[in-house]
Amino acid sequence: MSREVFKQSIGYPLEVVAEIKPEQWDQHAIGNWTVRHLVGHSSRSLGRLEEHAAASPVEPTGVDVTTSSDDRGFAAAKALGDDPLGALKTLADRVLPFVDGLPQDYMLDLPQGKHPVDDFMPSRIQEVTVHAMDIAAALGSDIKPPVECLRHSLYFHADRAIERNLAVELVLALTG
């Protein structure tokens, strides 16, 4: 199920980025990032499964993973070139069949150790979904993510809250 939702999650930023008008690329998005920087950062989220697979240990964007998040976002934005939507589509066209081809018991090489690909999938779904939501918010777009992407994102964050003993705080935040 997570792989199907991952496919949906990749479709969401493509839909949002397709709405970006030429004059919006350099507008402020979040922190010190423009829309282009945020899209670049988001592009990294699309390729993380590929990056962590032993068959392809190099990050697809060519960005050094030891740099700061801002620096990686700036470099990824530059790597998008003159056709950011085309670059995202190319990445999606490469990543989706790659993920489909990984066996369920495939072990990814993550900084915290080896993990089964399907255990890592929820983190990718929430990352891609949240970044696309950030882009949509920066644009003033009303495009909403697929419901299953939101469901997986909420489950992911609920599990992290439980692991960090913050479940009470999360429930209170959600319920006001």
Q: Model confidence over 107-129: pLDDT tens digits?
A: 888 888 888 888 888 999 999 99
Strands (E) located in 80-129: 107-110, 113-116
pTM, 2 dp: 0.85
**Six-digit token string for 62:** 């060519």
Strands (E) located in the chain: 28-30, 33-34, 107-110, 113-116
- For the packed helices 117-139 and 35-52, what is the interaxial angle rounded to 10 degrees? 170
Q: Model confidence over 21-69: pLDDT tens digits?
A: 999 999 999 888 899 999 998 888 887 777 777 444 444 444 455 556 6
Domains and CATH numbers, the chain: 2-175 (1.20.120.450)
Q: Model confidence over 66-90: pLDDT tens digits?
A: 556 666 777 877 888 889 999 999 9
